[in-house]
Chains A and B, each alone.
Chain A
Amino acid sequence: MKSERMKYSTLFCLLMVVVAVFLSSFSPGFYTSALTDAPPIPIYNSIRVFHTEVYEPEFDLKIDSFVIPLKRAGRLFLIEAKVDNEEGNLIFDTGASGLVLNSTYFRNYIKTETKNSSGINGAVGLVEKISVGKLEFAKLSYKNLWADLVSLGHIENRRGVKILGLVGFGMMRNFEIVLDSKNNELKLFRIDKTGKRLNSQSPEFKSDYNQKIEGNGNILFLKGMIGGKMLNFGFDSGAETNAISSFSNKKIMSTITITRRMTLKGAGASGREVLFGRMNDFTIGPRQILNMETIITNLAALSDVYGTHIDGMLGYSFLEHGTICVNFVKKQFGIRFWKGDDK
């Protein structure tokens, strides 16, 4: 057990370096001027944490499946939760791997790991990690778990809801996860070792298209096609719109309509460029989805953090087209498109 812990600690240390570098690129509190190639626009809530922790929940063994009602704040999906004695909401953010907590409410916890890392690019970043006693949401309860501490105040200010933190697939990968964005439901099904649902009453997910999940991480990468090219997309329920790399090739970019640009003037700075538009020619499996809103940005830093080249991110603009089913044991992603949704 102890060695297991050591192994994880080492893993954390390594990962924290990466996380620190990454976080330092957008969180105002963690900013470092040394990092110049970070994306001009954070995707989209500006915090991404990447590690491969698996959290084991406790739950009522009599239940084979249950539905978590999702609250909505704009295009964010929220899960009502309690962390120790603090009540609020967690953003269901599949772009985050594990548990991330908002420093506003948890800053007084003992920081078990504070890394002052001088990692890639010589950047200096600071990421704090805390241990919380108990996390409860819906019918799940987790005890003594680690969380990264970051500032999420800007999301609260924008959406007017109390955000305790972010929760990604890592917290529920022992279930088959069905995200129904139209009805605002997150359905969790207990599965056996082969990934089959335990509940014989609920048949398996009927999908229009399945794709194999590659890798062992908690972040999902999907293959999609734009302008006849196969591209790698991060699947991110915390992104309120899609994103496409501004450095994609000519053929891809020719299918993207740019409709707005804005330079935001910072205090004493030249301003930051934001490009917004539409993906006109996105295809996943057999289905072409037209007219998805997207931001156009530099995704190099995100690729670095995820350790794989990313051409784009699929966020809410994609999610609203169908119900999604993710099974990490079967290593399968499935989507059932809304009827009458597409041409």
Chain B
Amino acid sequence: MKIIVCYMLLFLAFMFGSLSTRAQFDPDKVCRVDNGQLIFTLNLKWTEQEKKEVAELFDLDSALIAQVYNGKLAITIGNENWKVKKLQANWIELSKLVQSKTDKNINFDDLFLVIDDWMNFAGNATEEAVIYGFNNFEISNAFVYSSGTAMFYLPGSNSAHKVYISGTFNNWSTAQTPMKFMGNGWLVDLKLEPGKYAYKFIVDGRWTTDPSNKQREMGDAGSYNSVVYCTNQLFELNGYKNARKVVVTGNFYDWNKRGLAMNQTSTGWSLPLYLRDGTYSYKFLVDNEWLTDPGNPMVRKDASGNENSFLSIGEPYLFRLDGFSTAHKVVLTGSFNGWNETELVMDKTAKGWQLPYVVGAGNYEYKFIADGKWMTDPANPFSTGTGNYENSFIALKANHIFELNANPDARAVIVTGSFNGWNRQEYRMKKEGGKWIFPIYLKPGKYTYKFIVDGNWILDPANKLYEGNEYNTNNSVLWIGPVQ
């Protein structure tokens, strides 16, 4: 009996032993600072995967790691001297002095971006990326949108002195947009484009989500914001009064059969929806029966022969190519459709070829393919890149024009900045009436930029706003406000 107990104890001791000699891997225990030394405790038995993870977390050079695992005891990488100390059981300590010298050429933005990344700072979701949306208010008069005017109503708060509305439409201003007291609540009318907006009320200094609005999302400030859509498409289906459930679905909703529920009205069913600029196919589902929109004559067959209703939101842009009358087929391709070479076949006209196409606001590159031959748009003076990589450039719904009213004799002027990653070739300006111009679409926010005149970088002489950069030259500063 005693012997059995002894063996069991031995077995347990062996189990424990094998557990502790197994190369433990805990990234939280790898790095420490002690007395001005930065020390990494590493295990020689770690797997390649574990080594790689540590190297990535702590930005350790692969050459350094290789030398450590080859048994070197003193290693110099760049101007840093590393020492290796052997501990027991395959453990080693890799150390060097904690860096304390400043670096003149450090780019602060890079530094903070790294820290932001570590701290998981996620910015607000871009409102432009939203394809569709609808409202969900508890009381119908809390929000009304018609003819480009949005009316927000906050019932109650009768004793408040001042109420403001603050949201993405006014850059979250806490003071620009006061509401009016109407005896039983607060009201404001705002001119807004169709789209998604996040907002809050500020009642005597206190942030308040809209009590009537059931739609909320987590904001940058760690609290919920109300969300509203200024709708631009009214889906309507007359009749079917006895139906239990009517939904609309389409490519904007990935043809999900759950669909977006329509509301019963006195004449049938309806749903006001926001849809981003573009072309959409859709159908109604009346008690699970598919139905094209009887009120919309635009019906097309899809690849499997099913009929779908179609609608377009936004003004189409007319792409044109004059001439090429003997060509058999001309295709439009560009960054707006992922450079698809077959999708957008142009229509033949008396003068050449054309295609009306709806694309949202933005900067796009494109080319025509005439009988298999790629070409830039001969009628468009704006292009990016050179040689085979030259593409025509168009800014749709451009909201800013870069202008340089100087250097009329320059051979080439480029505008470059934070909007295109400081690309030195991309955006060539066009000379027009002695000035250099470049129309562009820029999302709301801050931009830094410069002009490159025949290879020389210059500030925008017409812009008094500029800031320092890591090269000790300066960059011009431009703010684009929110669309209103």
Contacts and interface: CB of A to CB of B under 8 A. Distances in A.
A104 B154 CA distance: 39
B255 interface: no
B102 A104 contact: no
B62 to A, nearest CB: 13
Contacts of A74: 116, 121, 123, 220
Interface string A285-296: 000000001011
Contacts of A128: none
Nearest to B464: A108
A157 B446 contact: yes
A84 to B, nearest CB: 14
A31 interface: yes
Contact of A266 (B104, B221, B468, B479): B104
A184 B33 contact: no
B114 A151 contact: no
A185 interface: yes
B278 to A, nearest CB: 26
Nearest to B206: A67
Interface in B434-484: 445-446, 448, 464-472, 477, 479
B115 A241 contact: yes
Given A67-B204, A108-B464, A185-B207, A296 B33 contact: yes
A276 B115 contact: yes
B207 A184 contact: yes
B113 A158 contact: yes
The number of chain B residues touching the other chain, given as a range, is 35 or more
A266 B467 contact: no
A261 B338 CA distance: 38
Interface string B281-315: 00000000000000000000000000000000000
B115 A250 contact: no
Interface in B100-158: 100-116, 118-119, 121, 123
A281 to B, nearest CB: 14
A240 interface: yes
B393 to A, nearest CB: 25
Contact of B465 (A42, A105, A276): A105
Interface string A30-46: 01010111111110101
A80 B221 contact: no
Interface in A252-306: 253-254, 256-264, 266-277, 293, 295-296, 298, 300
B398 interface: no
Contact of B100 (A269, A270, A298): A298
A40 B100 contact: yes
B386 interface: no
A186 to B, nearest CB: 9
Contacts of A44: 115
B98 A273 contact: yes
Given A74-B121, A266-B105, A259 B418 contact: no
A208 interface: no
Contacts of A250: 34-35
Given A40-B101, A104-B466, A259 B204 contact: no
B172 interface: yes
A160 interface: yes
A40 B206 CA distance: 39
A184 B118 contact: no
Contacts of B446: 156-157, 160-162
Interface string A17-54: 00000000111110101011111111010100000000
Interface string B406-434: 00000000000010000000000000000
Contacts, number: 200
Contacts of A332: none
Contacts of A80: 173-175
Nearest to A33: B104
Contacts of A27: 468
B36 interface: yes
Contact of A69 (B98, B174, B418): B174
Contacts of A293: 119
Given A183-B206, A254-B32, A41 B173 contact: no
A315 B144 CA distance: 42
B196 to A, nearest CB: 18
A138 interface: yes
A185 B35 CA distance: 41
B205 A66 contact: yes
B380 interface: no
B220 A269 contact: no
Contacts of B111: 41, 264, 272, 274
B115 A274 contact: yes
B254 interface: no
Contacts of A253: 32-34
Contacts of B34: 250, 253
B387 interface: no
B118 A276 contact: yes
Interface of B: prevailing SS: loop
The number of chain A residues touching the other chain, given as a range, is 35 or more
A261 B57 contact: yes
A68 interface: yes
B95 to A, nearest CB: 13
A96 to B, nearest CB: 17
A73 B222 CA distance: 10
A75 interface: yes
Contact of B202 (A42, A69, A254, A256): A69
A3 B103 CA distance: 43
A37 B100 contact: yes
A211 to B, nearest CB: 26
B80 interface: yes
Contact of B468 (A26, A29, A71, A184): A29
A298 B101 CA distance: 10
Contacts of B108: 28, 42, 46, 154
Contacts of B78: 270-271
B326 interface: no
A269 B223 contact: no
Interface in B178-230: 202, 204-207, 219-223
B13 to A, nearest CB: 30
A270 B468 contact: no
Contact of A103 (B99, B418, B467): B467
B207 A259 contact: no
Nearest to B114: A262
B221 A269 contact: no
Given A28-B472, A260-B58, A184 B221 contact: yes
Contacts of A300: 100
A28 B32 contact: no
A152 B57 CA distance: 30
Contacts of B99: 40, 263, 272-273
28 contacts: A39-B102, A40-B99, A69-B166, A72-B221, A80-B174, A103-B467, A104-B466, A158-B109, A160-B123, A183-B223, A184-B221, A185-B206, A241-B119, A246-B33, A246-B100, A253-B33, A254-B32, A258-B30, A258-B31, A259-B28, A261-B58, A261-B60, A266-B107, A272-B99, A273-B98, A274-B114, A275-B98, A277-B31
Ranked nearest first, the 3 interchain pairs of A and B with the lowest CB-CB distance are A67-B205, A153-B467, A72-B221
Given A25-B102, A75-B119, A80-B175, 11 more contacts: A31-B102, A33-B104, A36-B101, A153-B477, A161-B171, A185-B206, A241-B119, A246-B33, A246-B98, A267-B105, A267-B470
